[in-house]
Amino acid sequence: MVKMILIAIVAPLLAFSIGLSFMMIKRKVVARIQRRYGPTIIQPIFDIMKLLLKEDNISHGVIFSLGPIIAIAGSILSVFFIPIAGLNMLTGSGDLIALLYIMAIGSLGMALGAGDSANPNASIGISRALTLMFGYDLPLVIIVISVALQYHTTDLSAIVAAQANGHWALWSLPLSAIVGFVVTYGALGEHPFDIITAPHEVATGPMVEYGGKHLGFLMINHAFHLYVEIALFVDLFLGGASNIFIFYIKMFAVFFIMMMFDEVLPRFKIDDAVRFFWKWPTVVALISLIIVLVK
Amino acid sequence: MEKMTEEQVKSIANMLRKRSLWMIHYCTGCGAMELPPTMTSRYDMERFGLAPYVTSRQADILLITGYLNVKTLRRVITVYEQMLDPKYVIGFGSCTLNGGVYWDSYAVIKQLDRYIPADLYIAGCMPRPEAVISAFRHLMELIDSGKADGYKRYKRNLAYYKENQRKVLG
């Protein structure tokens, strides 16, 4: 019991610090790619602290204020379902399919809050977010089914255990792994899939009316979101890890490759993004599924 | 442990605030061209934790670039009132100080400080990116010492500002 409570406190803190460290490194790496010096490494901490210290916090209604909290709650709940480094928190009581449902809560919380702000930019942004989710969820579900069929289980900790000693799903299911990378990339909303926040088109989309501590909570949620998406990819295809350092290194490797793509690509239109997800990743994921079924 | 006084809490808050300033630049006039080099690789203002943001709710600094005519003043006041405290205003270019080359125009606001409280002015037509960055550094010092209190002045002297705004806007 005590151990469970301890894990319940430590796991979100760990997830938050990993996500935050990625946010820090990203600002610096992006600056270096653009041949700038870049901000100090702890700049995201200053940003979050400043937002939480704002004297004014305008709310447009109860749901508007609840939106970021629902989003954080959904993200923290999905942290518990992802096994890291032998810590199986709630993975026993819910499987991969439950996790897929819980991961959608974050976007839905944002949708509720943005809808309550009654700003047209927020409505456009959130409709884009949900449409994009519709786009990348189809290949995601197909690759999750292929991984589950490959290991004859939907228990994420059993999938991690089956990949021990270097028998990664990346080697046995390379096509699914590629699709998984693209889908994770899309879920993080990096270029070219940053249509949701697109500052030049919809003025940061769902966040347009958020300021002060609400925006601070959304930045904290972004750290959790980064962690959840990449940790799921590492667990599914890179075999998890036996300790937290190896896990961090694997996550960082995935994130570093993503940053390289992020800086050189322009932005999709929303219909092009959905068309892309339903064409190439879906077809490749289906081929991978057929290979698993035939084998 | 001793209890922290309100003063100490405020000074810590100011120290954090000055390290992260988000700017909304309302490009009313001609100054828009000086800002892209300030933001991007050449002068890179992100070094100091400054970043351009797109909406008034998220921003801390309102940068009024160049001349401000009567029509845009209404929007500028709306943007300023939408921003969340603490907020700072920088008048950019000579036109916000005394009208600049538009000193005798019937459609241009001569003195920004009569309508919204400016914390800082950058003189020049146009100020170079170096001048812009040095102004931001100066604003940071003002915030740190608690002297950048434009938003408090606006609340305290609301009647004065509203009266001046009513005179031009009608």
Full strand arrangement of the beta sheet holding B50-52: B50-52, B21-26, B61-65, B88-92, B120-122
> For residue A58, what is the nearest residue in chain B, using CA coordinates?
B84
Mean predicted lDDT score pLDDT of chain A: 85
Mean pLDDT, rounded, for B18-46: 84
Q: Which CATH architecture has domain B14-169?
A: 3-Layer(aba) Sandwich (3.40)
Of all residues in chain A, the percent with pLDDT exceeding 90 is: 6
CB contact under 8 A, B84 and A212: yes
Q: B8 with B146: CB under 8 angstroms?
A: no
The pair of three-digit structure tokens given for residue A198, joined into one six-digit string: 């697109």
Residues in B touching A57 (Cβ below 8 Å): 84
Cβ neighbours of B45 in A, within 8 Å: none
Place of tokens 């100080």: B97
Q: How many CB pairs under 8 A join A and B?
A: 78
- Confidence check: pLDDT of B63 > 70: yes
Domain ranges of chain A: 2-294
- Which pLDDT does position A21 carry in this prediction? 92
Print burial letters for B102-136: b (CB count within 10 Å at least 16), e (below 16).
Answer: beeeeebbbebbbbbbbbbbbebebbebebbbebb
Is residue A208 predicted with pLDDT exceeding 80? yes
A41–B contact, CB cutoff 8 A: no
Mean pLDDT in residue range B144-165:
87
**Helical H runs in chain B?**
6-19, 35-39, 70-82, 94-98, 129-144, 150-156, 158-169
- DSSP 8-state assignment for residue B93: S
Angle between helices A212-237 and A96-103 (to 10 degrees): 160
Residue range B145-156: average pLDDT?
A: 86
Residues B142-168, buried b or exposed e (16+ Cβ, 10 A)?
bbeeeebbbbebbeeeeeebeebbeee
Query: A43 to chain B: which residues are within 8 Å by CB?
Result: 19-20, 49
Q: What is the ipTM of this complex?
A: 0.84
* Digit-coded pLDDT (tens) for A131-188: 888 888 899 999 988 888 888 888 888 788 888 777 787 778 888 889 989 999 888 8
Give the span between the Cα atoms of A167 and A238, in whole angstroms.
Answer: 9
**pLDDT confidence bin for A294, thresholds 50/70/90:** confident
B85 → closest Cβ in A27, A56, A215: A56
pLDDT number for residue B110: 84
Euclidean distance between CA atoms A284 and A275, whole angstroms: 14
Q: What is the mean pLDDT of chain B?
A: 85
**What Å distances lie between residue A65 and A12, A70, A83, B83, CA to CA?**
21, 9, 31, 17
Q: What is the mean pLDDT of residues A94-103?
A: 82
Q: What is the pLDDT of residue B2?
A: 60
Band (pLDDT 50/70/90 cuts) for residue A88 is low
Nearest CB among A37, A203, A204 relative to B47 is that of: A37
CB contact under 8 A, B57 and A34: no
Which residue out of B8, B14, B20, B61 would a mutagenesis test of the A interface target, given it has the greatest number of A Cβ atoms within 10 Å? B20
What does the pLDDT look like over A233-249, one tens digit per residue?
888 888 777 788 888 89
A215 in contact with B at a CB cutoff of 8 Å?
A: yes
What average pLDDT does range A13-31 have in this prediction?
Answer: 89
Residue B26's pLDDT is 77
Of B20, B55, B86, the CB nearest to A43: B20
Determine whether the interchain pair A39/B46 forms a contact, defined as Cβ–Cβ distance below 8 Å. Answer: yes
